[in-house]
Amino acid sequence: MPDRSLDWFRQAERDLEHSRESSVNKKHEWACFAAQQAAEKAMRALHLSLGQEAWGHMVSKLMQELPDSILLPGELLDKARILDNYYIPARYPNGHPEGSPFEFFGQKQSEEAIAYASEIIEFAGNEMARQKGSS
């Protein structure tokens, strides 16, 4: 099976770009969701670069399933958990008791989501480079 990790990683970077554009355009619910997707794809890329398959959409779970040889920096897992909360409620009206998703997300959430996804992408990229350098 060919190594598609770089394809996943490049799409993660593009999703992060989409997140930033959505935030600028005050589409904060989409900025949060795109940031979650960027982090998820970066983690998937890292798993693939290690020759592992990755299933599911929870960024925190994908992180926890990394080999023990990969040390997660500081609060990165907690940041992933925050991003996980944007997977469904940012898109679906039934993610909240009432109202549409756009009513529940603002600039603070999208800025935080973008910052956290950026850190996760940087972490994944650094680990992928480290793995490549050691092989």
pLDDT of residue 62: 97
pLDDT along the chain (135 residues), means of 10: 90 98 98 98 97 91 95 94 96 93 96 98 96 72
Q: Where are the strands (E) in the chain, listed by range?
A: none
Predicted pLDDT of residue 19:
98
How many domains does one find in the chain? 1
Domain extent at residue 111:
5-134
DSSP category for residue 57: S
pLDDT at residue 39 in the model: 98
CATH number of the CATH domain containing 80? 1.20.120.330
Please report the pLDDT score of residue 135 as a whole number. 59
* Contact assessment for residue 83 and residue 113, using Cβ atoms and an 8 Å cutoff: yes
Closest listed residue to residue 104, CA positions, set 119, 120, 91, 115: 91
